[in-house]
Homo-oligomer: A and B are copies of this chain.
């Protein structure tokens, strides 16, 4: 049985920690924590005695070290975390059947509208999609921790205003909403009818933004 060998109040002071040991501690913290760890959190590991610059340098060093492995250290909205490389997933799926749901178009469209037009009410979403939005759609996105009610619009009924969460960004490996794929300018519907046999369905128009 492992018994605590280092009492908390007798931890080595930072000076006695070698750079290797510091990197090791950082690595272990990142390997054991599922939520991304922001630099502010990582500083706690060293009683706030390490600067952001030093930590960043170490983090990039760790990232480098793992470059050829099956896992990668990445920086997302809420901080740094280790995750598997995409080519590992098919193997992992053999161990545990994929637990992440495949979202229906209704869910995906709702998510897109919330992500790009936030904050929006259910009514706004219905307006854009042209159909009513089932409560289960919003519930499944809330349950995943991807959307949340951030307030209420001050109109009759006080409908909830939905926005995406930082977990949504984290789970999509994004650091901010600006990293979402840019919205495309849609081909005008009024001047179709001419020469569109080959269906350039979503050809971006470069002259407009």
Interface residues in chain A, defined as those with a beta carbon under 8 Å from any beta carbon in chain B: 2-6, 8, 11, 24-25, 27-29, 31-33, 37, 41, 44-45, 47, 69-71, 82, 84-95
6 contacts between A and B (CB under 8 A): A6-B87, A25-B70, A31-B31, A31-B82, A33-B95, A37-B95
Do A32 and B86 have beta carbons less than 8 Å apart? no
Do B47 and A94 have beta carbons less than 8 Å apart? yes
Task: For residue A162, give the distance in angstroms from its CB to the closest CB of chain B.
Answer: 25
Interface majority SS on A: helix, strand, loop or mixed?
Answer: helix
Residues on the B chain within 8 Å of A88, using CB: 24-25, 28
Residues on the B chain within 8 Å of A2, using CB: 86
Scoring A32, A69, A82, A89 by chain B CB atoms within 10 A of each residue's CB, the highest score goes to A32
Do B69 and A29 have beta carbons less than 8 Å apart? no
